[in-house]
Structure 1
Amino acid sequence: MFDSLVYWHWVVFGFVMLILEMLAPGAILMWFGIGAIIVGGLLFMFPEMSWELQVLIFAVFSITSVFAWKHWRKGKPEDDTESGTLNQRGRALIGRQVPLVEGIKNGVGRVQIDDTFWRVEGNDLEVGTLIRVTDAEGATLKVEPAINQ
């Protein structure tokens, strides 16, 4: 079965892997696809290459490139999903300064940021006081009076 492998088998397999990579996250299948395309190119140039050597080249290139990619991407900040504010709208608002729409009484009030009204907690303040968002817990923002009132 493997004795009948020709270069275009590897190339087609490589492109199938690249297409599957577009459907699955993680940048893993891409390296197997590139490895298969490289083996196809080598087989085109050296058609007498045995199937064992083809599989060996494919495995070595694919596995080392996956580990090299993971090592190279390890320290990149955009891969740190813990530090982002995706799906944490309140955390994305930390540092914003806005006026109170509803004064803070008994530690609770409201502000409008963009098109959303937010519940705020902090020291009692009057309507219109400029506040700064310091923290967020769920849909509640922790606020303090802004310094430059």
Structure 2
Amino acid sequence: MVGLLLLMLPELAWEYQLLGFAAFSVVSIVVWHLVLKRHPTVSDQPKLNRRGEQYVDRVFTLDEPIVNGQGRIRVDDSTWKIHGSDCAAGVQVKVIGVDGVVLKVDIHT
């Protein structure tokens, strides 16, 4: 855009060119934001960067008990904090939700 402006006004000072670039940048960001808001990008893997949400509805066996509503669970190659009803080690729990980096679990029946 600044190049087209410079074609029309070849004597335009560099300060105004820089100002024009800044203005066009802000306008283009706002326009692109509005376009994406109306037409969001659809992904074939919507949970790709939401690791905790990938575990919702999966069932795991507790290695250690849940005490006072809190515990830890081994999921694949990592350990996660969990919140749920108190229960003993060895009980199967189902992940029913995610709160930040904490998995919410319920006893699996």
1:142 is displaced (CA, Å) by 0.2
SS at 1:101's partner residue?
Answer: coil
1:93 correspondence with 2:65: no
1:94 is displaced (CA, Å) by 0.2
1:103 correspondence with 2:78: no
How many equivalent pairs are there?
72
Unaligned runs of 5+ in 1: 1-73
In our comparison, the structure showing a higher alpha carbon Rg is 1
Letter in 2 for 1:79: V
The residue number in structure 2 matching 1:40 is none
1:114 correspondence with 2:95: no
Letter in 1 for 2:91: T
What do residues 69-125 of structure 1 show as CA deviations (whole Å, max 9, x unaligned)?
Answer: xxxxx69xx7159x9212111011001101112210000011111111110000101
1:139 to 97, 101, 105: 101
- Tell me which of the two structures has the higher relative contact order, counting C-alpha pairs closer than 8 angstroms and 6 or more residues apart: 2
Stretches of 4+ aligned residues off by more than 2 angstroms = none
Partners of 1:127 and 1:105 lie apart in 2 by: 10
Alignment RMSD, CA only? Answer: 2.5
The residue number in structure 1 matching 2:42 is 79
Partners of 1:123 and 1:135 lie apart in 2 by: 14
Give the share of equivalent positions with the same residue, in percent: 32
Unaligned runs of 5+ in 2: 1-38
The residue number in structure 2 matching 1:61 is none
